């Protein structure tokens, strides 16, 4: 069973102004989703990002982008913190590791009581940067195997020499 990351979306966005330009929250949300989706897929984890209430909704809005990646908008009178606390409590019997990403002190205390692990925003960002570096190294190391498919690589050397003579080289 995959580990689960419950992420307080705005806590991450407002906690890292060096990464997220908060002048456009929609872009910040999209960037966080892209980053977390990549991180989750590469590390085989399930991710739920919770954002504080959107509009005047009275119900939780859930957008399941894939089987293991979900975006949640809480109703107007519920915070992402309370949603995450509730989910960490309800999912504690699933016998998997649950990590809550937030730098909010009271929320961290509550989720520890539910048996979840806390991950400060700075630790998550550091882990994602390390993960990106590993991906880059892997791609660089293995990319030479994926050379373009050119006919010149398949022609025997003797034939290449004859063609070069014909071209006047």
pLDDT (0 to 100) of residue 103: 77
pLDDT (0 to 100) of residue 110: 64
pLDDT (0 to 100) of residue 112: 66
pLDDT (0 to 100) of residue 36: 93
In this prediction the pTM is 0.75
Pick the CATH number of 3-143 from 1.10.150, 3.40.50, 3.90.550, 2.60.120: 3.40.50
Instruction: Tell me the domain boundaries of the chain.
Output: 3-143
pLDDT (0 to 100) of residue 46: 94
* Dist. CA 122–CA 42, nearest whole Å: 19
* Dist. CA 121–CA 35, nearest whole Å: 13
pLDDT (0 to 100) of residue 50: 93
pLDDT (0 to 100) of residue 147: 63
What Rg, from alpha-carbon coordinates, does the chain have?
23
What does the DSSP assignment read for 46-58? EEEEEES--TT-S
pLDDT (0 to 100) of residue 106: 59
Low-confidence ranges of the chain (pLDDT < 50): none
């Amino acid at each position: 069973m995959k580990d689960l990351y419950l992420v307080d979306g705005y806590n991450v966005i407002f906690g890292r102004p060096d990464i997220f330009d908060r002048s456009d929250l929609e872009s910040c949300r999209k960037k966080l989703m892209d980053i977390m989706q990549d991180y989750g897929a590469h590390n085989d984890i399930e991710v739920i990002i919770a954002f504080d209430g959107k509009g005047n909704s009275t119900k939780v809005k859930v957008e399941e982008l894939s089987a293991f990646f979900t975006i949640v908008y809480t109703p107007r009178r519920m915070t992402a913190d309370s949603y995450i606390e509730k989910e960490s409590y309800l999912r504690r019997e699933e016998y998997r590791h649950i990590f809550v990403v937030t730098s909010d002190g009271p929320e961290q205390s509550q989720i520890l009581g539910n048996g979840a692990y806390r991950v400060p925003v700075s630790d998550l960002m550091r882990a994602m940067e390390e993960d990106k570096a590993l991906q880059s190294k892997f791609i660089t190391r293995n990319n030479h195997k994926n050379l373009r498919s050119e006919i010149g690589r398949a022609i025997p050397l003797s034939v290449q020499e004859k063609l070069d003579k014909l071209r006047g080289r």
